[in-house]
């Protein structure tokens, strides 16, 4: 039975991968609708033939890697349970130490290490792909350093969460999910507060914007939006990527507007001001706080469903998966697997919400700057630098895109430009 379940799981993963390979490379049509041909959203008007080919090829492979990596994570955790590795990790931990907390830490390091090794090939392929297409400029050593930093941050985070979670399971078998969620609220807010000043600087160097003339323009724009901003931060990314980005991070006094130096090097001041106005909208309309609220609501539902699904799985397949009790640390891979599946299922909704907020930010930015030419040019340059598809396949947009497609964004700006021109 165990062998059959393993074969079926691997077969399901292969069929899933083949479906998305067929969908992305043969079925999905990324051509522009004819009404947009020749418009400013048409990539043939601002990309050369080689860039068009590269963007299509790169996007297809990158999207396939995304649709392979997520179910591979499920397969990994399933096989860890099925072939008794989780049971072995617990035995090794118990043989190493008599202290329960230390046993949990040892169990976690084994599970984390095996997970890192199992997912390393796909992560390396993704890194190598971005290097081949000249998106990444990062050396292998620098990339490996970032991977290891992420490993230890994730390990440290779970080292805090897992002992508390399983202690709650033992104390309240039917309500642990609710108590765990209540404890997650201050933890989530604390991590959001910590992110820009502790975690982000582990990967990159942040410093106040060096171009003081541009900073004055941005702060004037912020004052117009009634944002009490004092500094705009610049981050050194040119030694890692050719892509462009800007974002808002943190909450309260730790909130920051951040510009990549690649953005500063490639865009004009007017283009940067449009992007900054976009980011300011997230502050003005409190998108960060709505995001935290939405995340907490979804996590409540997710933890409840995880509780129900873990118990059902243990009753139905406990013998095959070597899980006698969900309150045993051996069930942790099942917890991770179910959580990952729920996150994937919820991604169309969370992405839809994010795209709505990003559309609001685009409209806010163009109303504030009233410079559609600069706005359109900035999106065209973002497309070129990241080799992005202007019109991605539907399933890619649903499951991957937290921002509207460039077709939607540029065409909206063109409509504004025409309307604005007619009003003059």
- 332-352: per-residue pLDDT in tens? 999 999 999 999 999 999 999
Establish if 9 belongs to a structural domain: yes
Percentage of the chain modeled with pLDDT above 70: 96
Taking residues 215-232, report their average pLDDT: 79
Q: Which two tokens stand for residue 282?
A: 């997230």
pLDDT band at 170 (very low <50, low <70, confident <90, very high): very high
| Closest alpha carbon to 282 in 360, 194, 369, 192 | 360
Q: Residue 2 has what pLDDT? A: 65
Give me the residue label for tokens 């400029």.
137
Bigger pLDDT: 227 vs 170: 170
Establish if 44 belongs to a structural domain: yes
Q: Residue 148 has what pLDDT? A: 95
Domain count, the chain: 1
223: left (phi over 0), alpha (psi -120 to 50) or beta: alpha
Taking residues 317-323, report their average pLDDT: 88
- Asked if residue 12 has pLDDT above 60, the reply is yes
Establish if 266 belongs to a structural domain: no
196-204 long-range contacts (CB < 8 A, ≥24 apart) are 196/249, 196/250, 196/254, 196/255, 196/256, 196/258, 197/250, 197/254, 199/153, 200/235, 200/249, 202/149, 202/153, 203/146, 203/149, 204/235, 204/236, 204/237, 204/240
Percentage of the chain modeled with pLDDT above 90: 60
Q: Residue 198 has what pLDDT? A: 80
pLDDT digits (tens, 9 = 90+) for 257-299: 788 989 998 999 999 999 989 988 988 888 888 888 999 999 9
Taking residues 394-401, report their average pLDDT: 95
Establish if 279 belongs to a structural domain: no
Q: Which two tokens stand for residue 175?
A: 């309500």
Q: Residue 391 has what pLDDT? A: 93
Taking residues 325-336, report their average pLDDT: 93
Taking residues 211-216, report their average pLDDT: 86
Taking residues 233-255, report their average pLDDT: 81
- Residue numbers in the known binding site for Zn(2+) are 278, 282, 358
- Asked if residue 401 has pLDDT above 70, the reply is yes
Buried b (16+ CB within 10 A) or exposed e, 237-269: beebbbbbbbebbbbeeebbbbbbbbbbebbee
Q: Which two tokens stand for residue 15?
A: 């069929």
What average pLDDT does the structure give for the chain? 90
pLDDT digits (tens, 9 = 90+) for 126-152: 999 999 999 999 999 999 999 999 999
Establish if 268 belongs to a structural domain: no
pLDDT band at 229 (very low <50, low <70, confident <90, very high): low
pLDDT digits (tens, 9 = 90+) for 82-109: 998 999 999 999 998 888 889 999 999 9
- Asked if residue 365 has pLDDT above 60, the reply is yes
- Asked if residue 254 has pLDDT above 80, the reply is no
- Asked if residue 185 has pLDDT above 70, the reply is yes
For residue 310, give its domain range. 2-205+285-423
Establish if 82 belongs to a structural domain: yes
Establish if 292 belongs to a structural domain: yes
Segment among 157-166, 234-243, 338-347 with least mean pLDDT = 234-243
Q: Which two tokens stand for residue 116?
A: 């890192």
Bigger pLDDT: 423 vs 309: 309
Bigger pLDDT: 22 vs 228: 22
Q: Residue 1 has what pLDDT? A: 66
- CA–CA distance from 167 to each of 173, 183, 343, 353 (Å)? 10, 13, 24, 34
CA angle 225, 231, 232 (to 5 degrees): 80
Establish if 220 belongs to a structural domain: no
Catalytic positions, written as ranges:
279, 362
In angstroms, the CA 172 to CA 266 distance is 56
In angstroms, the CA 374 to CA 47 distance is 17
Q: Residue 422 has what pLDDT? A: 62
């Amino acid at each position: 039975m165990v062998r059959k379940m393993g074969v079926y799981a691997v077969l399901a993963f292969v069929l899933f991968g083949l479906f998305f390979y067929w969908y992305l490379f043969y079925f999905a049509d990324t051509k522009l609708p004819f009404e947009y041909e020749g418009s400013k959203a048409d990539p043939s008007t601002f990309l050369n033939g080689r860039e068009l080919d590269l963007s299509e090829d790169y996007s297809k492979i990158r999207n396939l890697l995304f649709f392979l990596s997520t179910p591979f994570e499920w397969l990994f955790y399933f096989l860890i349970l099925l072939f008794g590795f989780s049971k072995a990790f617990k035995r090794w931990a118990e043989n190493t130490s008599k202290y329960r907390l230390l046993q949990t830490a040892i169990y976690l390091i084994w599970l984390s290490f095996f997970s890192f090794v199992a997912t390393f090939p796909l992560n390396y392929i993704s890194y190598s792909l971005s290097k081949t297409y000249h998106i990444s400029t990062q050396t292998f050593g620098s990339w490996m350093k970032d991977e290891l930093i992420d490993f230890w941050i994730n390990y440290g985070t779970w080292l805090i969460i897992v002992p508390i979670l399983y202690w709650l399971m033992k104390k309240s078998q039917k309500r642990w999910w609710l108590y765990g969620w209540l404890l997650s609220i201050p933890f989530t807010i604390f991590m959001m507060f910590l992110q820009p000043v502790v975690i982000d600087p582990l990967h990159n160097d942040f410093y106040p914007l060096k171009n003081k003339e541009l900073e004055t323009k941005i702060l004037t724009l912020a004052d117009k939006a009634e944002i009490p901003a004092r500094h705009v931060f610049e981050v050194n990314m040119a030694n890692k990527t050719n892509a462009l980005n800007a974002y808002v991070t943190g909450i309260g006094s730790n909130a920051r507007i951040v510009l990549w130096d690649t953005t500063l090097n490639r865009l004009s001041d007017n283009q940067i001001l449009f992007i900054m106005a976009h980011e300011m909208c997230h502050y003005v309309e409190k998108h960060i706080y709505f995001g935290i609220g939405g995340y907490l609501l979804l996590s409540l539902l997710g933890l409840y469903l995880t509780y129900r699904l873990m118990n059902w799985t243990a009753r139905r397949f406990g013998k095959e998966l070597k899980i006698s009790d969900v309150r045993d640390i051996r069930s942790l891979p099942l917890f991770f697997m179910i959580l990952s599946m729920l996150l994937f299922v919820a991604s169309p909704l969370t992405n839809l919400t994010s795209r709505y907020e990003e559309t609001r930010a685009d409209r806010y930015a163009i109303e504030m700057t009233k410079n559609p030419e600069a706005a359109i040019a900035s999106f065209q340059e973002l497309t070129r630098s990241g080799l992005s598809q202007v019109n991605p396949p539907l399933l890619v947009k649903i499951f991957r895109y937290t921002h509207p497609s460039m077709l939607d964004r540029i065409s909206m700006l063109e409509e504004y430009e025409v309307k604005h021109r007619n009003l003059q």
